[in-house]
Amino acid sequence: MNPQVKFKFVGENPPDDLPTFLFSLSNVPYVRAFVAARNIKLQLASEAHLSELLNPQNIAKINAGGFDLIESPELRASCTVICKYVDRSLLAKPSESLHSEISDKNGVKASITKTKFSLKIRCATPQEANKLLTNGVKAFSIFIPSHYCELDQWFNIIQCHKCYKYGHETKTCTAPQICSKCSEEGHFYTHCSKSTSTCPNCQGPHTAISGECPSRKHLLKNARLNHGLAHTHPTNTPAQPTYTTTNTPHTSAYSYATAARPPLLPTPRPSPSHSSPTPPPLMEPTSCARMTGCIQAAYLKAGQDFQVFSKLLPEILAYNNLPNIKIPPSW
């Protein structure tokens, strides 16, 4: 899925072509642009383009051009680092001093949220979050290593905005339109006259899009569980051998002295001898017969003179495209 980012034009006179004007400010290419009034949603090609668009220099240019960044859940999660197993002395610090200490020591602009055993650091850009994931977190002479830091995860829970059931999109829904407040047909929530809310999924006293819905929380819990299982490497534990016991009495032909004797060391094997040099490759039968004929011709022409033979043989072999050979003088 391509990453997306949303902006809103807050200037006085919006330009006629918002995507072109926004592209002129950042020079970051996009795949698609969706415009609704003063809002614009850009669909980018990759995470690298998203990081380039959200760097501080481009954000400053975009803000100067009259746009404000609308944080999406995906963007918020990509900028949030969760530090686990944090020292209690660090969690006991005031939030204000912890915020300034982490921002100064790590060179990021972040907001801090403390929990019972963890620390949630909300950075300004994904680059700052990746910096903390790579280098770890330093604060008050305490170092949180990078393997205790992880990026926050965002899970998209698909919900229909026609029947407000989970698991399918609005464009594929064939059910009638209902009100998200009272779950009745015939009107929208803007024209609802009921004073109480009723969820169509759990029948609870809240709207259909409430984050407090138990059905939504259950789906979110399953999504987190499946995400954790997908990133867990299975361990191939070897099967333990099974032992069978019998009632047969133990009988041994060895005495106690023999059993207590230390085991004999294995006889060392002799080291392998040095291998003989690799013999030259065998010559083809036709070439071997030709070389034999050349030797005979040189011998007959030279007679008993070995010096004439040793000079004449290389010439005859070269003329017949055969390799030269060395003939010992005793031959």
What does the chain come to in residues?
331
* Reported CATH class of domain 4-70: alpha beta
pLDDT digits (tens, 9 = 90+) for 59-88: 888 888 888 877 667 777 878 888 888 888
Residue 227 near residue 155, CB atoms below 8 Å? yes
Helices (H), the chain: 18-26, 47-53, 56-64, 73-78, 88-91, 95-106, 126-135, 214-230, 256-260, 285-302, 306-319
CA 127, CA 122: separation in Å to the nearest integer?
A: 12
User: What are the start-end ranges of the E strands in the chain?
Assistant: 4-9, 32-36, 39-43, 67-70, 80-83, 110-114, 119-123, 137-139, 142-144, 149-151
| Largest distance between two CA atoms of the chain | 131
> What is the side-by-side strand order in the sheet with 4-9?
32-36, 39-43, 4-9, 67-70
- pTM recorded for the entire structure: 0.43
Counting other chains too, the contacts that 225-233 makes at CB distance below 8 Å and 24 or more residues apart are 227/153, 227/155
pLDDT digits (tens, 9 = 90+) for 104-125: 888 888 888 888 788 888 887 7
CA 29, CA 24: separation in Å to the nearest integer?
A: 10
Q: Scanning the structure block, which residue is given the tokens 């064939």?
A: 174
Strands 80-83 and 149-151, by their bridges, are: antiparallel
Measured CA angle at 183 (ends 178, 189), to 5 deg: 65
178 bridge partner residues:
185
Burial of 108 (0-12, 13-18, 19+ CB in 10 A): buried
Taking residues 294-307, report their average pLDDT: 76
CA 155, CA 221: separation in Å to the nearest integer?
A: 10
Kindly report the CATH number that applies to the domain delimited by 76-151.
3.30.70
pLDDT digits (tens, 9 = 90+) for 252-296: 444 555 544 544 444 555 555 544 555 544 455 556 667 777 777
pLDDT band at 237 (very low <50, low <70, confident <90, very high): very low
Q: What is the DSSP letter of 330?
A: T
CA 7, CA 61: separation in Å to the nearest integer?
A: 13
CA 323, CA 313: separation in Å to the nearest integer?
A: 11
pLDDT of residue 139: 86
Q: Of residues 10 and 156, which shows the higher confidence score?
A: 10
* C-alpha dihedral sign at 202, 207, 209, 210: negative
pLDDT band at 240 (very low <50, low <70, confident <90, very high): very low
